[in-house]
Amino acid sequence: DVKVTQSSRYLVKRTGEKVFLECVQDMDHENMFWYRQDPGLGLRLIYFSYDVKMKEKGDIPEGYSVSREKKERFSLILESASTNQTSMYLCASKQGGGFLETQYFGPGTRLLVL
C-alpha cells in the first residue's frame, strides 16, 4: 500500500515563526502536492512538484514556499507564519504524469498560529 506520512498531526506556532511541514511518501511517486483545507472552501492547492527540485505554484502560493531535495520528501515552508495560515494542511502524491492517476493523501497537519 502507498503510504504518505506527515511529520506532525497537530502543530501550534506563534505569529512570525518559520514553520516547516514535512511530507514523505514511500512509493517512488514523481508528483507531490500540498493543499490547505478550510471549512466551506474544500481543498485548495498551494504548490506541487513533478520532480526533484521542480515546483509549480498552485492556486494560493502566497506566504508559502516549498522544497523538494529528494524524491520521497516534499516540504512546505511558512516563512513568517500568520494567523490566517491557521488551517489543515494535506500532502498528496501520485505516480507519473497521467491526470487519471490517483492521488494518495497523508493524514494531515492541523496548524494553529497564535
Partner 1 sequence: AQTVTQSQPEMSVQEAETVTLSCTYDTSESDYYLFWYKQPPSRQMILVIRQEAYKQQNATENRFSVNFQKAAKSFSLKISDSQLGDAAMYFCAYVNQGAQKLVFGQGTRLTINP
The residue ranges that bind partner 1 (CB under 8 A) are 31, 35, 40-45, 48, 50, 56, 58-59, 88, 90, 92, 97, 99-100, 102-103, 105-108
Of 58 and 63, CB closest to partner 1: 58
Of 17 and 22, CB closest to partner 1: 22
Of 45 and 77, CB closest to partner 1: 45
Alpha-carbon distance 50 to 56, whole Å?
A: 8
Is residue 19 within 8 A of residue 36, CB to CB? The reply is: no
Length of the chain in residues, anyone? 114
Of 16 and 97, CB closest to partner 1: 97
Give 80's strand partners.
none
In angstroms, give the least distance from the CB of 56 to partner 1: 8
Encode 67-100: b = buried (16+ Cβ within 10 Å), e = exposed: bbeeebebbbebeebeeebbbebbbbbbbeeeee
In angstroms, give the least distance from the CB of 112 to partner 1: 16
In angstroms, give the least distance from the CB of 36 to partner 1: 11
